[in-house]
Structure 1
Amino acid sequence: MSKLVIHQPQPMMDVQDSDEWGSGICDCCQDVPECCFAFWCCPCFACKISRDYGQCLCLPLLDTFGCIPPVTMSMRVSMRQRYGIKGTMCRDCVHATCCNPCSWCQMSREMKRRQIHVLLVGAKTT
């Protein structure tokens, strides 16, 4: 009798030396097409980044109900924790409220820079 052993692919993480954001909040010139997309259609851009991060596609649409965008702030906090970036919730709140499109652009650039593949547990391939 033989055993069949199946190994599941594991998430890959690049080791980063920095505990800072890879780009500043206003460094939109690093990725002009994404900056334009975020500026002209921030809700669509935020949904795309949310999906790429492994969250619900429509989650950022909840930001429209209030003066402080809770989803943008939560995504920034989550990203800081996942990537080990220093910062505060207060600063995340200010960026999410005052610079929403720039905040989403910064998160997008960080995801590209860190190149961490998201593992969706329970996802089925077709």
Structure 2
Amino acid sequence: MTPLVISQPVSSLASDEWTSGICNCFDDVPDCCLAFWCLPCYMCITSRNYGECLCLPLLDVFGFIPPSGMSMRASMRERYRIKGTICHDCVCATFCSPCVWCQMSREMKKRTIPIVLGDIICR
């Protein structure tokens, strides 16, 4: 019987900063166009790609501070070990929501850490 070896995937980037700024929309023009023209769809797609519930971002329409955008940004900072504060996440998610969602999508594409769900690896 061979032993089962489990290893944590390593990020392709070791930086503690975001790979792109909030307003770097020209880094991924098609995504930013989709976010501009249909933000709810884009938020749901990005949330699903991150491994969260597809409909989670729809909660953002019920208040002034968008809970899913803020919490997903904070979670992404923790996952990728990016410097920042929850206060900064709250301000960015509240006043620059489309740009924040585009930044998170770009970050996931650049970091390429697979999400492991049990025995299934999602990329």
- Residue equivalent to 1:47: 44
Q: Find out whether 1:108 has 2:108 as its counterpart.
A: no
- Number of residue pairs the alignment of both structures matches: 121
Question: Distance in 2 between the 1:11 and 1:38 partners?
Answer: 32
Q: Find out whether 1:59 has 2:60 as its counterpart.
A: no
SS in 1 for 2:74: helix
SS in 1 for 2:28: helix
Asked if structure 2 preserves the Cα contact closer than 8 Å seen for 1:13 and 1:117, the reply is no
Percent of matched pairs sharing the same residue: 60
Question: Distance in 1 between the 2:8 and 2:44 partners?
Answer: 22
User: Based on CA coordinates, which of the two structures has the bigger radius of gyration?
Assistant: 1
Contiguous gaps of at least 5 residues in structure 2: none
Question: Distance in 2 between the 1:91 and 1:25 partners?
Answer: 12
Contiguous gaps of at least 5 residues in structure 1: none
RMSD: 1.9
Deviations 1:25-46 (A, max 9, x none): 0000000000000011111101
Equivalent residue in structure 2 for 1:17, among 9, 14, 17:
14
**Structure 1: which amino acid aligns with 2:81?**
G
SS in 2 for 1:39: helix
**Structure 2: which amino acid aligns with 1:107?**
M
* Dislocated runs of 4+, deviation >6 Å: none
Higher strand share: 2
CA apart distance, 1:10: 5.5
Deviations 1:45-92 (A, max 9, x none): 010011000110100001111000000000000000000000011110
Asked if structure 1 preserves the Cα contact closer than 8 Å seen for 2:12 and 2:112, the reply is no
**Structure 1: which amino acid aligns with 2:80?**
Y
- Residue equivalent to 1:92: 89
TM-score scaled by structure 2?
0.89
TM-score scaled by structure 1?
0.87
